[in-house]
Amino acid sequence: MRAIQSVAIIGAGNMGSGIAQKSAQERFDVQMVDREQQWVDRGHQIIADFLDEALERRIFRPADVETIKGRITGVVGTGNIDPETDLVTEAVFEDFAIKQEVFATLDEICAEHTILATNTSSLSVDALAEATGRPDRFIGLHWFYHPAKNRLIEVIPATTTSAKTLAAVEQYCKTMGKVVIVCKDRPGFVVNRFFVPWLNEACMLLEEGIGTTAQIDSVACDAFRIGLGPFALMNLTGPPIALHSTDYLAEQLATPRYASTSSLRALVKLGGMWEIGPETDCDEASARLIRQRLLGQVFTVAAQIVDEGICSMEDVDRGAKVGLRWSRGPFEIANSIGVVQAVGMARSYADEAALELPDWFAERDSPFEFSYVDVEIDGGIATVRLNRPETMNALNVVLVGQLGDAIDELNGREDISTIVLEGAGKAFVAGADVKFFVDKIRQDSFQEVYDFTAHGHEVLNAIESSPKTTIALVTGLALGGGLELALACDYRVGTQRTQIRFPETSIGIYPGLGGTQRTVRICGIEAARFAVLAGSFMDARTASALGLLTHLVESPGIPNTVSDLVSAGKPSERYPGRPADASNPVASFAASFYSDDNMTAIASGGTPPGFEVDDPDVARQLKSLSRAAPLALQAASALLDQAVATGEDLGAGLQLELDGLEGIFGTADALEGLSALIEGRRPDYRGN
């Protein structure tokens, strides 16, 4: 598979410039193309405005902004793009004839390897693929606005799209930290299939006089736990978009219920916006009807999506949470209100709307169960994807249990040589589910905390002792338990997007899934103290120098690196006990600052002899240490020392971590630190 490194975007409007900007942010070489120089210039200005905003919010540094801009080349005329471009995405008007014309030109000028993609929210990907000369290298991409901010992307392979094309485009999307939903080519794909009729149903409720725009929005916000109701959302995106989308779905799905209401048509004709007054209260009977209609519509269409094999239940929920920023997806909402009640709402709506409710949903009377671990097997390589990106793949009881089951099954298969772990979205794993810890502490249910952690140890030990070669693709954030999961693998492959950290001491606890033990054995006691005690954020280069990453590559090089590691097999030296590059400035600083001789001074909150408090590196460490929970620091430091004392007996060190759990989770500081993280405030530690 040829990796995608260079991309071209046809169309420099709001969407096209956003795709270009996001691609450039993630280190791709970008051409932004439009018919005239003025439109190309406008695209550059749109990008500049967004980057200036990011600069003001300190998301980027000035040098970052200039680098991003430098990766984007303006091109006038589709015929003038570089023929060797790896991926060309058109982002022009939703007009089949115009898109067909663009692809005809691209077919003529692009090299054989070039993949063509359409950014569409409505047109048939299969039909467009047939209109090109390379249907095997054609794919649909539904970006959500704004492409640089919204993390969701729907990837729609045509029936002719090759497996290599799909894999290359998926890797491109993952490199940009996107949450990827691969779905069938059906009208509306996933999100718009249930979201557009939801908007239209709100318009119907308005026309029927069941509620005002403000009342319907208020009930919708409460029922779906969202910030904006359907009318406010239509005002935000523009009523014409809602009109076009509803009519399209009504036509393509032959569903008159989805046809735009007269009120929406009149509003668009006048060029107006919905008037949303301040009065949101309505009588309970009306509120109940609004709630039942809107929920029933979503349940019905979500069930149809799954029944038609467009995507899974999990992906429907994921689309709602990531793409629309709902707090829960349709199937999660059904579980929360009770499946029997949800089915009743769906039956009522389906009957009224003359829609078919799939039997598998209509006959359901028990909660839906979700899978958050996906396993794909190809040529002896099993890729295990932690697929809970809406929570940054945070480890909870269900996810750890499903991961353990997957690892046990793969370990027992003779046809598998390698297990690759990866996270969906922009994170590998962003730690454990902190709310679980807080809830259990407040319920005085420490045993559940212990059982969860002990099971986590079992799963990581199954990875550690696996007869298979194990590879963690740490291509995004790996925090706390996520980093500990990666450290249990034979190899840890990172990219420039990799960021790792042990944040535990700053939230009142210590790394409890092997972080105090494997880290010492990988990079030595001093570097481990740097990583664990101060909770230092480490970029990819630092992580590589310390040995916490075994391989640092550019994103397009990941497939080849994995292939090389599969051929190499298990490493000869898993725990070197020293940094991979002792000359690295961070490794050198850690070796001197966190030496055994200095630990007494550090433990007492002082500055070690020979170090100046105004030295930036020293100041950063002292500041981080001062913000950590004192008891957590003490416990973590002792466990790091025990890692040295237990030496090659990793099991003994891991048991010490488990033995100390009750002591640390029983402190007031642990509850304070964990609670403060959830509440978004700085903790107030008292050392008790």
Q: Active-site positions? A: 121, 142, 154, 192
Strand pairing class (6-10; 418-423): unpaired
How do 499-501 and 551-552 pair as beta strands?
A: unpaired
Asked whether the CA dihedral 53, 59, 61, 66 is positive or negative, the reply is: negative
- Residue 607's CB: how many other CB atoms inside 10 A? 17
Neighbours of 459 (CB within 10 A): 22
From CA 85, how far away is CA 479, in angstroms rounded? Answer: 35
Gyration radius of the chain's alpha carbons = 27
CA 292 → CA 128, 282, 346, 612, distances in Å? 38, 15, 8, 66
The residue type of 117 is A
Is the peptide bond preceding residue 551 cis, with omega within 30 degrees of 0? no
In angstroms, the CA 447 to CA 454 distance is 10
499: its two tokens: 């960021």
CA distance 185 to 156: 6
Distance in angstroms (rounded) separating the CA atoms of residues 517 and 536: 17
Check the CA dihedral 642-645-647-651 and report its sign. Answer: negative
Q: Whose CA is closest to 473, among 377, 386, 576? A: 386
User: Cα(475)–Cα(674) distance, rounded to whole angstroms?
Assistant: 26
How far apart (Å, rounded) are the C-alpha atoms in residues 182 and 157? 8
CA atoms of 240 and 268, how far apart (whole Å): 6
Strand segments, DSSP code E, in 347-480 are 373-378, 381-386, 418-423, 427-430, 469-474, 477-479
Residue 75 belongs to what H/E stretch?
strand 72-76
Nearest to 570 by CA among 641, 460, 468: 468
Phi, psi of 500 (to 5 degrees): -130, 155
Query: Does an H or E element contain 7, and which?
Result: strand 6-10
> Strands 152-157, 138-143: parallel, antiparallel or unpaired by DSSP?
antiparallel
Q: Could you tell me the two tokens for 390?
A: 């809406």
**Dist. CA 219–CA 188, nearest whole Å:** 25
**Token match 């033995």: residue?**
659
All residues at 6 or more sequence positions from 157 whose CB lies less than 8 Å from its CB, including other chains? 125, 139, 140, 165, 166, 182, 185
